[in-house]
Amino acid sequence: MAKPLIVCRDLSIIYNKGKSNEFKALQGVNTDIFEGEYIILFGPSGCGKSTLMYSIQGSLPPGEGTLLIKGDDIYSYPPSERVYFQRYVMGIIFQSFNLIGSLSVLDNVALPMIFCNVDKTTRNRRAQSLLDRFGVGHVAHKIPAMLSGGQQQRVSVARSMVNDPKILLADEPTGNLDSVSTQQVMDKIDEINTFDRRTIIMVSHNAAHLSYAHRVYYLKDGLIVREVVNPQRKQIKPVKEGETIVTELEQLARLFPYDSVDTLRVKSMVNYLTQDYSFDQIVRMEHAVSLFIRGRLDRESFIKSLVLPFERGGVEVSEAEAKRMTAVTERMMHHADDIRRFRSRKDNANIFFNQHKLAERMRDHLIGLFRIKLNKEQDANLVEVIADRVTGVIDAGEMNQRLMAGVRSSGLGLSEKEADEMSRYFEKVVAQGVDVNYKA
């Protein structure tokens, strides 16, 4: 895996060190920013966003901790190398544009190249082509004051790209712009990230910008209090659990790791349409049921864990509901045992007799549970259907058909509703009592 481009470890920045007005603006910040990422530093005014950005830019040396760019401590560079770094590795855009009022737009953009010994023709050609790219080529010969705020900011975007920097820093670049200009500038910066594949670090306190970034560092009082991954963008930095905007899909992806996102969306929707419980409650319930059916939890403790409020680790269902759930679970476990016995006795000499008895018991259970009256023939047919299903001679759909089929075709003649309810319930019992042979 690639190493991060920018690493901050326990980075603190102290203003006016040793003076009476000493102030610690960053108090131990940790970041890992990867090449090609779009990072937003977000937070209220005064939380330290600009301080962090200018520290990365090479203007504010760490008071404590380390800051490495491509593995280098830029603050240990000799002055000439630091200048090279700031000129060729970093581009920067300011909230207040910082254009020189007495120079034409073209000269403003060409200016940084003067210090890099680029000849005038090349400078002007490159400046003009960048101005064209950012939609302000037609005002190249005007002075900045004749341009709108949005145009001026697009000129400074062009200027920031003139030496083809690896990292683009932007300090609230749309803070002084109307909504239309904001959109244009944000789209251009986005293009520099997605098309030119430059790393972007932007200071912003506009929540509408967050969707552009791969990740957002939330700062408060000189600390990163939260790091949030944007699930809308394909991530460059490996994502740890809990770092994304935690949605139900993430939770489902953990439960069903091999399902596609589309399938997970369907599960989420179907859950809403069919169930009264949240996935959080279901996960708790699964845990409790798992302990109960493995005999690690007795009846009373199971009921208790279902009834307990959510904050205290419970599922938070009503007592009546918890008792109903417990009764259903116990009943299913009991009959699943019959199914297990039915299937495991195949080597025994009494095989037929025992199986028949077990199937009869399951039949009586179903009749009792669904309160249906059957005649002798139907009774016998149900035993057959149960045996066929438990041995796998028929599948769930065929069992359902047999329950509805007429008595003469070895069926029971149940209504569709009765057949559906019975076969649905019986499938649950079968699932409890029959192992899956390809899973340990």
The residue (of 14 and 308) whose beta carbon lies closer to ligand ADP is 14
The residue (of 45 and 117) whose beta carbon lies closer to ligand ADP is 45
Q: CB-side exposure of 365: number of CA atoms within 13 Å?
A: 20
CB of 261 to ligand ADP, least distance (A): 36
The residue (of 45 and 274) whose beta carbon lies closer to ligand ADP is 45
| Contact yes or no for 95/173 (Cβ under 8 A) | yes
> How is residue 240 annotated by DSSP?
P
> What is the rounded CA–CA span in Å between residue 113 and residue 123?
6
Tell me which residue of 113, 111, 115 sits closest to 99, measured CA to CA: 111
Token couple for 291: 């302990």
Residue 48 touching ligand ADP (CB under 6 A):
yes
Distances from the Cα of 50 to the Cα of 30, 55, 82, 229, 399, angstroms = 15, 8, 19, 21, 69
Residue 51 touching ligand ADP (CB under 6 A):
yes
Q: Single out the residue of 12, 14, 15, 133 in contact with ligand ADP (rule: CB under 6 A).
A: 15
| Contact yes or no for 16/23 (Cβ under 8 A) | yes
CB of 228 to ligand ADP, least distance (A): 17
- Among the residue ranges 41-49, 151-159, 162-170, 262-270, the one whose residues contact ligand ADP (CB under 6 A): 41-49
Place of tokens 């200018």: 54
CB of 56 to ligand ADP, least distance (A): 12
CB of 96 to ligand ADP, least distance (A): 14
| Contact yes or no for 181/156 (Cβ under 8 A) | no
> What is the rounded CA–CA span in Å between residue 396 and residue 74?
69
Residue 46 touching ligand ADP (CB under 6 A):
yes
Residue 45 touching ligand ADP (CB under 6 A):
yes
The residue (of 203 and 289) whose beta carbon lies closer to ligand ADP is 203
- Among the residue ranges 38-46, 173-181, 321-329, 331-339, the one whose residues contact ligand ADP (CB under 6 A): 38-46
Q: Single out the residue of 23, 256, 272, 370 in contact with ligand ADP (rule: CB under 6 A).
A: 23
Residue 61 touching ligand ADP (CB under 6 A):
no
The residue (of 174 and 423) whose beta carbon lies closer to ligand ADP is 174
| Neighbour-count burial for 128-142, b at 16+ CB within 10 Å, e otherwise | bebbebbbbbebbee
Residue 173 touching ligand ADP (CB under 6 A):
no
Residue 27 touching ligand ADP (CB under 6 A):
no
The residue (of 46 and 242) whose beta carbon lies closer to ligand ADP is 46
Residue 21 burial (CB count, 10 A): 6
Residue 216 touching ligand ADP (CB under 6 A):
no
Report helix, strand or coil for 217. Answer: strand
Residue 279 touching ligand ADP (CB under 6 A):
no
Give the residues across from 167 on adjacent strands.
Answer: 90, 199
CB of 205 to ligand ADP, least distance (A): 8
How would you list the strands of the sheet with 167-171, edge to edge? 90-93, 167-171, 199-204, 38-42, 215-220, 223-229
Report helix, strand or coil for 438. Answer: coil
Token couple for 130: 């960048």
- Among the residue ranges 46-54, 111-119, 296-304, 319-327, the one whose residues contact ligand ADP (CB under 6 A): 46-54
Residue 277 touching ligand ADP (CB under 6 A):
no
The residue (of 43 and 58) whose beta carbon lies closer to ligand ADP is 43
The contact set with ligand ADP (CB under 6 A) reads: 15-16, 23, 25, 43, 45-51, 203
